[in-house]
Structure 1
Amino acid sequence: MIGLLVLYSLQPGEIVDDPATISILTGLASVAGLGAGIYNGRAETRTRELEHRNRELERAQTELRETVDRLEELNTRLERSNERLDRSRRYTDHVLDAIHDVFYVIDETGALQRWNESVGDVTGYSDAEIASMNAIDFFAAEDHERIANAIAEGFAAGTVQVKAALVPKNGERIPYEFSASTLENPRGEPVLAGVGRDISARTMRERELEQRTRQQRVVATLGQLALETDDLDELMAEASRQVADVLECEYCKVLDLDDENGELLVRQGVGWRDGIVGEATVSADESDSQAAYTLATDHPVVVEDLESESRFSGPDLLIDHGVHSGISTIIGPADEPWGILGTHDTASRTFADEDVNFVQSIANILAEAIERKRYQDELERLVSDLTESNERLEQFAYAASHDLQEPLRMVSSYLRLIERRYGDELDEDGEEFLAFAVDGADRMRSMIDGLLEYSRVETQGGSLEPVDTEQLLDDVREDLRLKIEDHDAEITTESLPRVEGDPRQLHQVFQNLVSNAIEYSGDETPRVHVSAERNGAEWILSVSDEGVGIDEDDQDRIFEVFERLHAAEDHTGTGIGLALCERIVERHDGEIWVESEPGEGTTVSLTLPAA
């Protein structure tokens, strides 16, 4: 071969795709002694393209397999995550469903997005019904606005708490307390999630506590009224009103027992028709009425339904007013009852033990007031009798003392006449006897004068007025000037107050006390000190000396009439001075007492109202 025949075609496939053309060209090349061949450039190119594409496809397949593997791994993880999420959701649902309180999630419109089984259990609505309801649909119409405001407040403030009656499908009302806080749901929307708790038991306890507190307050109020008023009818009427009001009963009555007629009179009451209070009576026979049965059993009696009562028949008073239930308690001791306190209602009711105790407490207050009024009336009668007796005694004492004056003056006059006419004829014994008689008559006259003063403290006393006790002591010192000088006595005083009193009688008191202090000074120079100390609305005035003192056993005796601790020849006096002082001080609503030790002196103190 001497050469190579090469033909090029500008059109792809123009030569190689035509077998005839290839045959001709091959023959020509052979005649010319040239070599001949076919080069298919398109195939080569396509081969290379296919190889490249194949490599790209393999890479894509590899990446796809890797992506599929990753997706499968992610899917596995997602399935595991979803499984965990489902378990968590189921756990949460179980936890929420296990809660006895109602759980809820609502949006800003009040629509429920989630709830637990308790919502359906409590309300009686199905899940389908609940899903179509708004939160306010679970409440009474009068609470809708308040609940809507609470929801709005929860979204605005972040938290909210409200009490309201939940209304189930059956229409019952159940006290509930709701508390909620704002959260975001998975979509990022604000929701209000919370719980509602049945507070029926707590509400009942609160009501019972409030009722007990109210009952105690009424007991205290009526107890105070019983101490302040003497009008039993006013107290009984108020007690009837309070008992009926607190126990929410329509009727209450106070029955006054008349043993002689065997009847119980409606003394006071509330709720009864006109003409009942003060007029109507109930039989005291135990089989005829609840009140009479209460008296017979000596215990409070509770009736829940009078129509089915077998212990006694219903009296006309209760039947005519449609009474079905009530409480009756005894007023006063069982052995001497005053009557019955009863409260009644037209509805059949069950009363708690605390209600019965409350009625009994009010009955006890009435009993104490009645007994106190009896004692007060008896005391007033005794005081009246005693006052009358004292007046008669004073009149007798005055009359007796006055009547004794004349014969005593006659005795004294004749004794002195004997002394003047026959004194020279008497021997020493006769003169002594005559002196004894004259001295006895003089002392008798002093005792009668003292008794007259004592008997007239109340009747002859002056009006009370402000008295300057410093000036009073100056006057006393002047009246006792001779005695003070004779004994060389030293009288000292502190700053003394103004008191409310009878000037003349107070002068008598302090003159007696200062005179006694000088008289019983012993052998020492008398030193008497008058002092004063404020004690609230009164003054304590004291007269102290450094004299002989008084034995403790004798200190109560010194205020008795005609009581003397020393012989007449040792000390002058009638034995009525301190008794007179005590009576005058008592007239001034004061007290007088003595503090003393033998040989250490004596202090007599008394109280007088401040001016």
Structure 2
Amino acid sequence: MTLTLYTSMPVSHHQRGSPELDPDHPLRLRQQTILAKFGELALQCDDLDEILTEACRLVGQALGTDLAKVVELQSDGRTLLVRAGVGWKAGVVGVASIDLTENSSEAYALRCGEPMISPDVAKETRFKYADFLIDNGAQAVANVIIIGGKDRPAFGLLQIDSRTPRDFSEEDVSFLRGYANLLAAAVDRLRVLHDLRGREMLLTRALAQEQVVVSELHHRVKNNLQTVSSLLRMGRRNADSSARDGFDEVIGRMNALAAVQSRIYESIHLNEVDFAATLADIAASLIKIYHGGQASLVMPVAAPLVLDVARSMALSLVCYEVILNAMKYAWVDRAPGTLTVEITKVGSGHEIIIADDGVGFVEGEVARGMGGRFSQILAGQASAQLALFTSPGSGTRVVMRLS
């Protein structure tokens, strides 16, 4: 991009060989120090207004001017708002605006993308300046564009104003240009950060709404399961004795699934289930129903076991079948004993152990229930390996290994 410097004053005293061109000259050293200081702020601060205000303060120090401001291009594309500034009377920063008319220096700078200098506003014939600028005593103005990020319009202009006529040198303009580019990078970083935070907020809200919907869905499923169970109980009352066992089995399975749904509804993560708590619910419920609640339930402190919903559904039915059969067959013709339900950590997986101290079975003669075909199918759906250990008089022990 070619530098076009508009000025009505001679610049011969700023030609090469001037002490100001020396990188060790105090003015250049001050400008370099201020560039470094502002660069640190631009990288560390997330408050755009603080960055813009400090940018105005530091640039005024660098050039020894009285006034400085950042004017932001508004969404209408025809107005600039004084977004930040130093040295101005009350009612300017955040309030005053500049119309981008054809005869404004700001419109020219934005249109051409080049710095625009008016060394003496009183003698300026090309441009008309805003009333608030004159009212604050500005007599010289330098406009430098603050470019936008990729595919974005310019943010606005960095304007340096002096209360005395001033011939800004090419070195001053070069410094301002580098300073404005550093400011543009800071603005773009915060714009991107603002966009990301906005999207994050939208995603968070969407996720929260989704969780409400899913939670309500699980709640309704639980209620529907309970309704189905109630209807089945009504049907059971009118069924003959041969059909009641079938009703009981279906009702029990509905209750097992409802136990999972209850735990989902209580969970923060609606795709996960505290299966240890679910298993305790199922065991306690069946003990209450059978043997008048006289059987004892022993559950050692369980290892944490959190499973996804689908796996929990299948595994809850397996555990229900195992515990149900213990209730039915473990203590035939004797007082109910003890049911032990345990979850242990084994290597990278878990084991669920359900054991009773009942009459036991002759291995190979168990036609249904624990080790039956239905339980084996459900265990496969839950990615569990099911093993049965029993002998007459020694109770029954079922081990489910989860990888």
Quickly name the TM-score band, shorter chain normalised: 0.5 to 0.7
- Provide the TM-score with structure 2 as the length reference: 0.56
In the alignment, what sits opposite 2:295? none
In the alignment, what sits opposite 1:305? 119
SS of corresponding position for 1:348: coil
In the alignment, what sits opposite 1:288? 103
Assess, with a 3 A threshold, how the Cα gap between structure 1 residues 451 and 364 changes in structure 2: closer, same or farther. Answer: same
Q: Contact 1:412/1:442 (CA < 8 Å) preserved in 2?
A: no
SS of corresponding position for 2:157: strand
Inter-partner Cα distance in structure 1 for 2:157 and 2:175: 18
Residue in structure 2 matching 1:349, options 163, 168, 186: 168
- Note the aligned Cα RMSD (angstroms): 4.7
State yes or no: 1:372 paired with 2:179. no
For residue 459 of structure 1, report the CA deviation from its aligned partner.
10
SS of corresponding position for 2:348: strand
Matches within 5 A, 1:73-472: 204=24, 208=28, 211-226=31-46, 229=47, 232-260=48-76, 262-285=78-101, 287-297=102-112, 299-303=113-117, 305-307=119-121, 312-320=127-135, 321-330=137-146, 332-333=148-149, 335-345=152-162, 346=164, 347-350=166-169, 351-398=172-219, 400-414=220-234, 416-417=236-237, 421-423=240-242, 435=246, 442-458=252-268
Letter in 2 for 1:340: L
SS of corresponding position for 2:70: strand
Assess, with a 3 A threshold, how the Cα gap between structure 1 residues 407 and 269 changes in structure 2: closer, same or farther. Answer: same
In the alignment, what sits opposite 1:570? 377
Inter-partner Cα distance in structure 1 for 2:345 and 2:230: 42
Letter in 1 for 2:262: L
Inter-partner Cα distance in structure 2 for 1:337 and 1:576: 59
Inter-partner Cα distance in structure 1 for 2:62 and 2:44: 18
Inter-partner Cα distance in structure 2 for 1:452 and 1:355: 65
For residue 392 of structure 1, report the CA deviation from its aligned partner.
4.5
SS of corresponding position for 1:394: helix
Matches within 5 A, 1:39-54: none
For residue 281 of structure 1, report the CA deviation from its aligned partner.
1.2
Assess, with a 3 A threshold, how the Cα gap between structure 1 residues 376 and 310 changes in structure 2: closer, same or farther. Answer: farther
Assess, with a 3 A threshold, how the Cα gap between structure 1 residues 453 and 266 changes in structure 2: closer, same or farther. Answer: same
Assess, with a 3 A threshold, how the Cα gap between structure 1 residues 325 and 508 changes in structure 2: closer, same or farther. Answer: farther
For residue 215 of structure 1, report the CA deviation from its aligned partner.
0.3
SS of corresponding position for 1:341: strand
Q: Contact 1:405/1:448 (CA < 8 Å) preserved in 2?
A: yes
Inter-partner Cα distance in structure 2 for 1:292 and 1:508: 73
Aligned length: 287
Matches within 5 A, 1:477-488: none
In the alignment, what sits opposite 1:510? 304
Q: Contact 2:225/2:258 (CA < 8 Å) preserved in 1?
A: yes
For residue 441 of structure 1, report the CA deviation from its aligned partner.
5.0
Inter-partner Cα distance in structure 2 for 1:203 and 1:511: 68
SS of corresponding position for 1:303: strand
Deviation by residue 1:75-132 (Cα, 9 ceiling, x = unmatched): xxxxxxxxxxxxxxxxxxxxxxxxxxxxxxxxxxxxxxxxxxxxxxxxxxxxxxxxxx
Assess, with a 3 A threshold, how the Cα gap between structure 1 residues 417 and 312 changes in structure 2: closer, same or farther. Answer: same
Deviation by residue 1:378-424 (Cα, 9 ceiling, x = unmatched): 532442354244234423432x13431432212442565577x241x
For residue 257 of structure 1, report the CA deviation from its aligned partner.
2.9
Q: Contact 1:295/1:330 (CA < 8 Å) preserved in 2?
A: no
Matches within 5 A, 1:535-574: 544-545=348-349, 569-572=376-379
Inter-partner Cα distance in structure 2 for 1:310 and 1:218: 35
SS of corresponding position for 2:72: strand
Q: Contact 2:115/2:145 (CA < 8 Å) preserved in 1?
A: yes
SS of corresponding position for 1:570: helix
Assess, with a 3 A threshold, how the Cα gap between structure 1 residues 546 and 385 changes in structure 2: closer, same or farther. Answer: closer
Higher relative contact order (CA 8 A, sep 6+): 2
Inter-partner Cα distance in structure 2 for 1:375 and 1:446: 44
Inter-partner Cα distance in structure 2 for 1:256 and 1:512: 53
Identical aligned residues as a percent: 19
Inter-partner Cα distance in structure 2 for 1:352 and 1:245: 15
Inter-partner Cα distance in structure 1 for 2:203 and 2:75: 26
For residue 364 of structure 1, report the CA deviation from its aligned partner.
2.7
In the alignment, what sits opposite 2:364? none
SS of corresponding position for 1:275: coil
Letter in 2 for 1:288: N
Unaligned runs of 5+ in 1: 1-198, 461-474, 483-506, 521-526, 531-542, 548-566, 578-600, 604-611
Inter-partner Cα distance in structure 2 for 1:412 and 1:263: 73
Inter-partner Cα distance in structure 2 for 1:221 and 1:243: 13
Assess, with a 3 A threshold, how the Cα gap between structure 1 residues 452 and 546 changes in structure 2: closer, same or farther. Answer: closer
Letter in 1 for 2:158: L
Q: Contact 2:115/2:144 (CA < 8 Å) preserved in 1?
A: yes
- Provide the TM-score with structure 1 as the length reference: 0.39
Q: Contact 2:225/2:254 (CA < 8 Å) preserved in 1?
A: no
Deviation by residue 1:458-503 (Cα, 9 ceiling, x = unmatched): 399xxxxxxxxxxxxxx99x979x9xxxxxxxxxxxxxxxxxxxxx
For residue 365 of structure 1, report the CA deviation from its aligned partner.
1.0
Assess, with a 3 A threshold, how the Cα gap between structure 1 residues 368 and 288 changes in structure 2: closer, same or farther. Answer: farther
Q: Which one has the largest radius of gyration? A: 1
Deviation by residue 1:422-445 (Cα, 9 ceiling, x = unmatched): 41xx7xxxx9xx85x765554443
Letter in 2 for 1:373: H
Letter in 1 for 2:106: A
Letter in 1 for 2:304: F
